[in-house]
Amino acid sequence: MEFEIKGNPEFGEAVAQLESGDSFHAASGAMNWLRGPVSFKARLMGGLGKSLIRKVLGGTSMFVNEYKAIGPSQVAFSHMVAGTLVQMPITSEGMLIAGGSFTACTQGVNLRTRFGGFKAFFSGKGAFFIEASGSGEIFFGAYGAVVEKELDGELIVDNGHVLAWENTLDWSLKGAGGLKSTLFSGEGLVMRFSGRGRIWLQTRHLAGTAGWITPFLRA
């Protein structure tokens, strides 16, 4: 199984070249087109308890589609918004990915959901993360460009700009201001990272763009 990414950095799309028996998982809605004999079925990611996920699913889909080649075939997929598509091997320590950034992964990668806390859930930002472990390749997409940082110390990031990070980092999701501001304004929610490891950020914030467009829609 081989992958080729085209269209980066503005409109990244990956094309998977599959032989009989090859399979991979992609986020719900990520598939653009396919060619050849391919079967697919939806699966629910592990973690949190499946009943809980169904009740608090919100805007982040916890379903992934498994694509399996019955013969030589191709499947193209991309992230839901315009920007860079990143492909990288899972490190031995594992990674965490913002729920809305996960795009696809190969066989051998284990996916579990992680809850970001009720503060994130009620603010509507970053309620779920995806923990990826095992061996294989993972794909995640950015809104805008991707910035990779090698961290040795502390970093505070607006959580809307966080894409993924290595599991060697300690992290917490907190309000930068008071509780009222965090819960009701949608502002002031940040992620605090410390330790040593890599982190990937996106240069644009989808919620910020939506907020900028909204006044024009009301006009």
Instruction: Report the distance separating Cα 163 and Cα 124, nearest Å.
Output: 16
Kindly state the helix (H) or strand (E) to which residue 128 belongs, with its residue range.
strand 128-134
Domain membership of residue 11 as a residue range: 2-218
CB 174 within 8 A of CB 156: no
Q: What is the mean pLDDT of residues 129-155?
A: 95
Residue 214 has pLDDT above 90, yes or no: no
pLDDT in tens, 46-105: 654 543 444 444 444 568 999 999 999 999 999 989 999 999 999 888 999 998 899 999
pLDDT cut 70: percent of the chain above it: 76
* Average confidence score pLDDT of the chain: 83
Residue 217 has pLDDT above 90, yes or no: no
Q: What six digits make up the tokens of 136?
A: 């294989």
Q: What is the mean pLDDT of residues 28-40?
A: 95
Residue 164 has pLDDT above 70, yes or no: yes
- Confidence at residue 51, expressed as pLDDT on a 0 to 100 scale: 36
Instruction: Report the distance separating Cα 28 and Cα 100, nearest Å.
Output: 11
CATH classification of the domain holding 164: 3.60.160.10
**What is the total count of domains within the chain?**
1
- Look at residue 64 and give its three-state secondary structure: strand
- Confidence at residue 24, expressed as pLDDT on a 0 to 100 scale: 97
Where does the pLDDT of residue 216 fall: very low under 50, low under 70, confident under 90, or very high at 90 and above? confident
**Alpha carbon separation from 84 to 27, 53, 75, 116, 219 (Å, rounded):** 16, 28, 18, 25, 32
Residue 45 has pLDDT above 90, yes or no: no
Model confidence, pTM: 0.81
CB 18 within 8 A of CB 69: yes
Give the phi and the psi of residue 151 in degrees, each rounded to 5: -95, 135
**Among 56, 130, 133, 139, CA closest to 99:** 130
Q: What is the mean pLDDT of residues 193-210?
A: 87
